[in-house]
Structure 1
Amino acid sequence: MDSSLSKNQKTYIHIAQNFLMQLRGQFPITQATQIIKLRKASDFADILNIHVNHLNRAIKLYTGKTTTQNINECFIKESKGLLKSTDWPITAIAMVFGFREANHFSAFFKKHGGYTPTNYRTLKIKK
């Protein structure tokens, strides 16, 4: 690490890198029975043994995005991959990401991915 960085900056970088490692370490999803355990900022803060506000500050400074934005982007990217590469029911994909109801997953996917999961899968199959 750059020696010109302050102790706080080094700490934030370390926290952010550990967060990203934990987040990305949950992927790829290879089985429909696999369930994502770390879904919220507080889940990551707990595993990193820090306060959630400290995590959020570090992530925002390191990535320019909120912790939740980073999590959502990763979830959408993996969801799109599953919709393209598997024939798993959308309910199974929803369960993988911790959604008890497929309609909640669909709303999340549409908000962050631009399409419903069904429409996305149909569009990607045609291409």
Structure 2
Amino acid sequence: MGLRAIESVSCNASNRLTSRFIALLESQFPVNSIAHVLQFKTANDFASQLSVHVNHLNYAVKEVSGKTTSELIACRISHEAIVLLRNTDWNVAQIAYCLGFGHPANFTLFFKKQTNCTPKAFR
């Protein structure tokens, strides 16, 4: 097996793993009720569910998407936060809880880092 063949197999494996990661990430959305809490929030959570080492998942996702696993997770959670802030009358604490944050203050810090404004200011 030549170098190109090895690279092709590696790329295909990375594509498959990244696809499985993205499918698992997307399967948690949309959040339709305040009783729905995200099961998987960290790269470790996803790696465990996909039965791979977190470093392997991170490498594959970065190779395929150019972004880290954590960046993709944060982007998707912040997108859902925006949807919930725009389309529900849930308070910030309820949204924080649904998105896996134990404390609303942690959610506010996360949201501000992602969007440069607080959830209340955004709403």
TM-score (norm 1): 0.90
How far residue 64 of structure 1 moved from its aligned partner, in angstroms, is: 0.5
- Residue 105 of structure 2 aligns with which residue? 103
Return the match for 1:52 from 51, 54, 65. Answer: 54
RMSD of equivalent CA atoms: 1.4
CA deviation string 1:73-101 (max 9, x = no partner):
00000000000000001000000111111
Aligned length: 119
Structure 2 residue aligned with 1:89: 91
Q: Residue by residue, what CA displacement relative to the aligned partner does 1:100-122 show, whole Å, maximum 9, x if unpaired?
A: 1101100000001211000000x
Measure the CA separation in 1 of the matches of 2:47 and 2:21: 8
Structure 2: gaps of 5 or more residues: none
Residue type of the alignment partner of 2:12: K
Gaps of 5+ in 1: 122-127
* Structure 1 counterpart of 2:70, from 68, 75, 81: 68
Give the deviation of 1:4 after TM superposition.
9.7
The aligned counterpart of 1:21 is 23
Runs of 4 or more, structure 1, over 3 Å off, are: none
Whole-Å separation in 2 of the counterparts to 1:86 and 1:4: 49
Deviation per residue, 1:26-85 (Å, 9 max, x gap): 100100110000000000000100000000000001111000000000000000000000
Residue 5 of structure 1 deviates from its aligned partner by: 6.1
